[in-house]
A and B are shown apart, each in its own frame.
Chain A
Amino acid sequence: MTPSTRDRTTGWLMVFPALTFVAVFSLYPAMDSFLLSLYSELPGSERTFIGFGNYAELFRDPVAHQAFIVTLGFVLLSTFLELLLGTGIALVIHERFKGRGWTRAAVLVPWAIPTVVAAQMWRFLLNDQYGAVNAILFGDQVDAYVPWLADPWMAFGAIVLADVWKTSSFAGLLILAGLQVIPDETYDAARIDGATAWQRFRHITLPLLKPALLTALLFRTIDAFRVFDLVFVMTQGGPGDATQVIQFYGYKTLFTEGRVGYGTTISVTVFVALAILSLFYVRTVGSKLLQREPA
């Protein structure tokens, strides 16, 4: 059965606004960035076409390698912890108890705070002189106070911590949605069969939660890959580039150094990496989601 010409025209007319929107606000900037990344531009010199020269440089650039590794470490660690904590949060706020509505709202507060504000708050909390973290841990023993952001590893840990604090509840929310579609009868049946709480969690909750977990994983990986504001506010990439993530490096080259070509090359590379990652997720994870009908 083939649609008539009129149907086809109507179809085109219907998708035209959406198509225009996508083209103007997504495709055009992406294509334009790609074109820019093929040029070399420095303050005080002409813009010259260098083909994939910027990409070749990016693959040789030790600073970029380090930034990629830092970003990858951040993505793996923060995503893992957020899913773990998110599951915990979801399990708690899924239960029926007095004040659940308030608890649910309270859990979402960190997520609702703008990242820049949260990052500034963490910077103050971790301050070596007046930071609350030191005051709580060491009280009056001022000589034991730790400058948390001065040590490369602890600074990295602080960025992860701030992200986990902020976004675990978002992961929790996604997972909660998954919990709510698991039918109660399954649990009742398991109870009658004598399954313990752990067994019910291990053999019912977890398998049926998988689609929601995978969705949370997808959102969190992509988001964590683009981390910028936490680093910008808390450490400026320091000390010694230990917290310099790829987006911050791209920002520095593009806006501060004025290397438009190289900076966009970094952005385009991140964009392509994320596009591949998303495609992979949607293809494998997404198709699994469609097959798996829990009811």
Chain B
Amino acid sequence: MNGLHASFSIAASSPLRHLSPWAAGIFIAAILCAGHLPLTHGQEVPATKERPVSPPITLHFVTWKADHPQAWDEAIQRFERAYPNVRIKREIAPHSSTAYHDLLTQKLKNRDVSLDLFFMDVIWPAEFAAAGWALPLDEYFPHGEREKFLPSTIASGVYRHHLYGVPSRIDSGMLYYRKDLLGKYGFRPPSTWNELVQQAEAVLKGEQIAQPFLRGYSGQFKQYEGLVCDMLEFVGGHNGSFLSEDGRRSNLTAPESLHAVQFVREQIIPRLATPAALTYQEPESLAVFVQGKAVFHRNWPYAWGLANDPRHSRIVGKVGVTTLPRFSGGTSTSALGGWLYGISAYSPHPDEAWDFIEFMTSPELQKHFAIHASLAPSRLALYADREVLRANPQYKDFLPVFQTARPRPRTPVYPIVSHVLQRYFSRVLAFPETNILEEAQEADRKIDRFLALVRDARE
């Protein structure tokens, strides 16, 4: 007798066959009722205003595995020395923004009281505010203090006139270039995209024999969040935008925007970046550049350190950095990235949590992170600080880039908007026969529908 036959005959005479329907019904109903009883959460814990001497309060901070763990350990030890009755318990979440988001929002959906502090990627405050997950910080964070930060970083934490996040640092897209190659052919760093294409082609032509595998440009064009950033920079550089001024409608069919997308499809991908860029996130595209196989490279500030690290890079000392090009008549635009500190609306200890945020974003600590972890400060004054500049001479080139930073659309349905944008851009780039206008119209329709659903009237 075959074993498989036996297993089927067991299935045919399974006990469920002999269950009377009413009994099964009651059974299932009972289970469902039990599951739907309102769950009690530890909400009744009062937030004590006066600081008790003991026992110490433990704040739970969901963070990611840091690139420079020692700098973070030291910063947190300094906080715990300054506030002896508060302990910070770190919970390490995935480093990928999307994976971090999925984990964090699960905790917040469950109103997890054992969560006090978290990071928000700059694209989340609207969603977290609308869902009631992030505590408004207006009363904690005085206006005089906010003005000391780079304006775009503060703007990214604001939703409907309330502030939900304090910028831990700034991140934005920038153009890396090969100083040696541009110098050899007598070029200054390009200020427009057309110039970039001309320079890259001239360099490729001149280097054809010596470096046949040199590419003109290396960026991130895989279907993922980074694609939205890269495309924002092209569209913004042509004076286009993803959403209309008031944030109520999708604006992808505007001629400026269509032209920018067409430029990427016809000039950047086939001629300079090669279709391989359609599989690149940051690490893959950086690998091409640090191996000396690209003239221009778009990346975030962290790439500077790696491109100048002899263990990783063949182009140490040959790298320059500047603002991303614009189109003629447009303004240079870089996608704003970075992480904001936020407090959970369900935290029983918001005051202590604020102490932590205030401490970590203070000039001293931002200086510490700039020197020991290469995190570009969100406080403007630190770009004139001699110690910071001695450790990071490149910051004098970074600051003009940071001043062109522009946030991605701020709406509670940003994850949906981003998926629509990713599909649209990836389709028109990967399928060169598609009609850009038609694809843009489809994306517009879908984004408009969701913007209307959440009545996201104000940006």
Contacts and interface: CB of A to CB of B under 8 A. Distances in A.
Contacts of B288: 129
B31 interface: yes
Contact of A258 (B4, B32, B105, B129): B105
A164 B440 CA distance: 36
Contacts of B2: 177-178, 181, 211, 294
B110 interface: no
Interface in A224-278: 235-242, 252, 255-259
Interface string B429-448: 11100000000001000000
Say what secondary structure dominates the interface of chain A. Answer: helix
Contacts of A89: none
A43 B31 contact: no
A212 B4 contact: yes
Interface string A38-75: 00001111000000000000000011000000000000
A27 interface: yes
Of A143, A149, A240, A286, the most chain B CB neighbours within 10 A belong to A240
The number of chain A residues touching the other chain, given as a range, is 35 or more
Contact of B431 (A15, A32, A240): A240
A205 interface: no
Interface string B384-425: 000000000000000000000000000011011001001100
A152 interface: yes
A238 B430 contact: yes
A42 B413 contact: yes
Contacts of B276: 128-129, 147, 150
Contacts, number: 153
Nearest to B9: A290
B279 interface: yes
B101 interface: yes
B217 to A, nearest CB: 15
Contact of A42 (B31, B101, B412, B419): B412
A30 to B, nearest CB: 10
A45 B427 contact: no
B223 A239 contact: yes
Contact of B423 (A28, A128, A151, A240): A240
Given A152-B431, A240-B430, A259 B416 contact: yes
B102 interface: yes
A23 B5 contact: no
Contact of A256 (B12, B412, B415): B415
A215 interface: yes
A204 interface: no
B15 interface: yes
Given A42-B454, A44-B131, A129-B288, A258 B11 contact: no
Contacts of B429: 239-240
A151 B413 contact: no
A51 to B, nearest CB: 17
Contacts of B35: 28, 32
A267 to B, nearest CB: 16
Interface in B193-221: 212-213
A238 B223 contact: yes
A238 B98 CA distance: 16
B416 A290 contact: no
Contacts of A129: 276, 284, 287-288, 291
A177 B2 CA distance: 8
Interface in B259-286: 274-279, 284
Interface of B: 1-5, 8-9, 11-12, 15-16, 18-19, 27-28, 31-32, 35, 98, 101-102, 105-106, 126-127, 129-131, 212-213, 222-224, 274-279, 284, 287-288, 291, 412-413, 415-416, 419, 422-423, 426-431, 442, 450, 453-454, 456
Per CB-CB distance, the 6 closest pairs between chain A and chain B, nearest first, are A44-B130, A238-B223, A147-B276, A239-B430, A44-B412, A240-B427
19 contacts: A28-B28, A28-B35, A44-B454, A127-B284, A143-B212, A147-B275, A150-B430, A177-B2, A177-B4, A238-B224, A239-B223, A239-B429, A256-B101, A257-B415, A259-B416, A282-B8, A286-B11, A289-B4, A289-B5
